[in-house]
């Protein structure tokens, strides 16, 4: 996980969040800030419909980038819920420090929608500091150059050099607007990395070793509407293992080189992507590795379903079910799936379980302690001077297991855990989790984690 410059001062950032303030819902407050003029009054739920949409503060960002995320279009009925939803969707672009969406009556049963944004700093060299696989013992560091809003069209340009745990060098480009309507998008990536073996079984046989991965991948897709997207991808991959152990590669000579291809579909109605309070995400993807009839010839199919249900009193019930299944010829160790790295079971947070297949689920009940609010940090330059904070509490339960194809999924093999924690919503869309979890035998563990909801 890469940590933005704002996260280097986590202890400083948390202090203002803990300052006394009223508990509220998880929605961001709209208090006026110095240098950010007050907008027109909000309107309550009413039969008013949208007249026009006006956008201000977007000095670099094209208006169509913002409009594409909005449910409120001319002729649509206006509700407070839609105003809040559009604000969080626009903020989820991660282009703005602050977003305000309001409405002003315009006569004849209409109201104009006013969108005010405060833009983030888009292009900068930056240090990289983070932890791999959500493990604080696997620190990586380096430097990169990023442009998060190239040409004002939400295009991403990124180059990085990473040292420490699993060093790598990579180039990445994403264009969300191949056409002005935003119906088509594409991205491309070239990377080289040295990755330490993740398989405990293979390490037990051959000891520690390192894999060298070279990847070229391109992805093209279409956004059918605000919530539905489909895509296809193609690429080429080389995995080289210097120790030439027969179980580490399919070829058995320490080097696999093969084409890849895949398809995917995503349905997403969540409001604030890093910590939603309402909405559903459902995705499925399939990837083919190698050519039929050749040594390297296997595939993977993954599914991911998440739902966020708002409840009275500001509570949010969140749930997730996910799977990752492998098939075809022999699946090499570098393409196995694991709990204990990216996916974790709290209560078994540091236990590594591997297999060809994986399935898991989690449920969380969120409650806001301090509603997201904005702080004006005047000494900092524009683009870094507006910080968003919030605090929430959660109770949770996790379950999951991984298994090889010569065995079957069994509920009895599920590892389970439960617990509670405090979640800090930090600037630049980061979420810091401080949690305590127990396993089935009531053994406890304290967890410090950097990730969003579920």
Which stretch of 124-128, 160-164, 307-311, 331-335 has the lowest confidence by average pLDDT?
124-128
CA 96/CA 121 separation, integer angstroms: 9
**Cα–Cα distances in angstroms (integers) from residue 436 to residues 275, 277, 393, 396, in the given order:** 19, 22, 12, 10
Put simply, whether the predicted model's pTM sits higher than 0.75 gets the answer no
CA 172/CA 160 separation, integer angstroms: 9
Residue 26: predicted pLDDT: 35
pLDDT digits (tens, 9 = 90+) for 245-300: 666 788 777 889 999 999 999 999 999 888 999 999 999 999 999 998 888 999 99
Q: What residue ranges define each of the domains in the chain, with the CATH number in brackets?
A: 31-119 (3.10.20.310), 123-450 (2.40.160.50)
pLDDT digits (tens, 9 = 90+) for 33-92: 333 334 444 455 557 899 999 999 999 999 999 998 999 999 999 998 899 999 999 998
- The torsion of the CA quartet 302, 233, 282, 267, rounded to 10 degrees, works out to -170
CA 12/CA 9 separation, integer angstroms: 5
Residue 236: predicted pLDDT: 97
Residue 46: predicted pLDDT: 58
């Amino acid at each position: 996980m890469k940590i933005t410059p704002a996260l280097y001062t986590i202890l400083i950032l948390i202090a203002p969040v803990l300052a006394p303030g009223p508990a509220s819902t998880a929605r961001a407050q709209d208090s006026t800030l110095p240098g950010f003029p007050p907008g027109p009054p909000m309107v309550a739920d009413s039969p008013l419909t949208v007249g026009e949409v006006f956008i201000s503060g977007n000095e670099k960002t094209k208006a169509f980038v913002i409009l594409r995320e909005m449910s409120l279009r001319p002729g649509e009925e206006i509700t407070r819920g839609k105003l809040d939803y559009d604000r969080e969707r626009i903020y989820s672009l991660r282009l703005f420090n602050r977003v305000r969406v309001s409405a002003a009556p315009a006569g004849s049963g209409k109201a104009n929608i006013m969108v005010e944004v405060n833009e983030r700093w888009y292009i900068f060299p930056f240090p990289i500091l983070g932890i791999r696989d959500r493990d604080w013992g696997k620190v990586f560091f380096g430097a990169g150059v990023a442009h998060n809003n190239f040409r004002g069209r939400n295009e991403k340009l990124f180059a990085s050099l990473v040292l420490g745990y699993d060093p790598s060098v990579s180039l990445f480009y994403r264009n969300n607007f191949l056409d002005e309507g935003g119906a088509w998008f594409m991205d491309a990536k070239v990377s080289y990395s040295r990755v330490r073996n993740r398989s405990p079984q293979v390490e037990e046989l051959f000891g520690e070793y390192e894999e060298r991965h070279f990847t070229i991948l391109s992805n093209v897709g279409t956004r059918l509407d605000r919530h539905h997207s489909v895509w296809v991808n193609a690429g080429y991959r080389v995995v080289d293992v210097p120790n030439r152990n027969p179980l580490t590669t399919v070829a058995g000579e320490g080097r696999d080189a093969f084409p890849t291809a895949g398809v995917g579909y995503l349905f997403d109605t969540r409001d604030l992507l890093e910590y939603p309070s309402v909405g559903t995400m459902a995705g499925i993807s399939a990837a083919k590795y190698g050519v039929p009839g050749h040594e390297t010839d296997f595939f993977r199919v993954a599914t991911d379903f998440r739902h966020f249900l708002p409840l009275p009193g500001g509570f949010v019930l969140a749930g997730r079910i996910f799977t990752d299944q492998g098939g075809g010829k022999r699946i090499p160790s570098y393409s196995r799936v694991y709990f204990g790295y990216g996916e974790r079971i709290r209560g078994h947070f540091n236990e590594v379980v591997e297999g060809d297949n994986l399935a898991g689920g989690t449920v969380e009940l969120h409650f806001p302690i301090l509603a997201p609010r904005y702080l004006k940090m005047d000494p900092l330059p524009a683009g870094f001077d507006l910080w968003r904070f919030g605090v929430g509490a959660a109770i949770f339960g996790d379950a999951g297991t991984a298994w090889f194809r010569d065995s079957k999924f069994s509920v009895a093999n599920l590892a389970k855990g439960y617990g509670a924690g405090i979640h800090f919503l930090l600037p630049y869309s980061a979420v810091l989790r401080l949690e305590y979890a127990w396993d089935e035998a009531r053994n406890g563990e304290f967890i410090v984690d950097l990730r969003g909801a579920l």
